[in-house]
Each structure stands twice: as C-alpha cells, then as structure tokens.
Amino acid sequence: MLNYDCYIFDLDNTLYDENVYLFSVYREISEFISSRYEFESEVVENYLINEFNERGRHKLLSKMITHFEINDALLSNLLLIMRTHVMSAPMLLFPKMRSFLLQLITCKKKTFVLTNGNVQQQKNKIKQIDWTGLNNIHFVFANEIEPKPSPKAIATIFSNHQLHGSNAILIGDSESDKCCAINANIDFIYVDELFEGE
C-alpha cells in the first residue's frame, strides 16, 4: 500500500470510532435536558443511544424533542453542544490506522484527511483526537468546498499542493467516499479491507 504518492483519508469511522464522540455528546445533552425538565438523564441518554443504534442519527435530536415533548426552541442549544462538546480524555485513532499513518509520514507521503459535515463540529473532533507524532497531515473540510461525493475537494487538494494527476488513493468507510474517489478518478479502498491478509 505504499505505492501511491498521495493518501486521502475519511475521518469518522475510518481513522477513529466516531461513536466515542457521539455517545459522550448524548450524555451531555441528556444532562442538559434533565436540568430543565423532569426527566432522569439516564432515560434521555438511553433513548438517544437506542434510537441511534436502531435507526441511525438522521434527525435524532428532532426525534428526541418530539418524543419527550421538549420545547423545540432548544434545538439550537443541542446543536451547539453537538458541535462544541469537550471530551474528558483525548480520542484515540484505531491502532492500525495510527501505525499506517506513521509509516506514510516516515516515507514522506502526502497525507490528507478529507471530511464531510459541519465544519465547526469536525474541527472540534479533530482537536480532541490524539495525533501525537503525526505531523504533516493536512485537514480538508469538504463542506467548505463541496461535500463528498463531489470530487471538488480532491481537485482542490491537488491544485493547492501541486499534485495534478497525482497517483492517489482515498480510504474511507462509506459509499459516499467510494463515489467521491470514482468521481475524482482516483483509487479507493474501504478501510475494513485495508489490512486484510495481515
């Protein structure tokens, strides 16, 4: 896997377990709701986690507001918590991904993290991940350009770093990541397949 000049990684659930962040956020949100309504924080937290596990995160906070009959004016407060939450300890990269990133940096490969999503929230996550020893990784926020699967963020990476026509690969965990690579005419591999056969 060291035969590329440029390596582009998705962030969430590619380099680290995003659930560590989300479940910690849900705990803070539950405590926030409990301080304003007569709900035990554990009841709210369990609802959020169960709903997330069963149906995913789409409109999860809105569903919670409806379920508990909470004033929907609080949604902006909840979104602020989601985007500024402070973890009690740094989040850790998947061990194999940390080792791989270190190998790429040692080999002086161009290495990027390209992430979709709210920019404030993604920057907040990145700030709280332990990147010790991982210098020269460039972070690119697709929503500042055009979200994946659009290839525009990758084109911007190539243009800004003089990598036109670069021999590049995108490593991710979603169909959106795969489509982004196809649209950008670069190689792609799912993170789950990256270390197969080791």
Confidence (pLDDT) at 198? 64
Q: pTM score, two decimals? A: 0.95
CATH domain 6-17+91-194 topology = Rossmann fold (3.40.50)
Alpha-carbon torsion (87, 93, 95, 99), positive or negative: negative
Q: What pLDDT, on the 0 to 100 scale, is given for residue 1? A: 86
pLDDT at residue number 104: 97
Mean pLDDT for back-to-back runs of 10 residues, the chain (198 residues): 95 98 98 95 98 96 96 96 98 98 96 98 98 96 98 96 89 98 97 86
How many angstroms separate the most distant Cα atoms in the chain?
59
Q: Report the pLDDT value the prediction gives residue 78, as an integer from 0 to 100.
A: 97
Per-residue pLDDT at 164: 74
Long-range contacts from 137-142, C-beta under 8 angstroms, 24+ separation:
137/101, 137/105, 137/111, 137/112, 137/113, 138/110, 138/111, 138/112, 138/113, 139/112, 139/113, 139/115, 140/112, 140/113, 140/114, 140/115, 141/115, 142/114, 142/115, 142/116
- Secondary structure letter of residue 88 according to DSSP: S
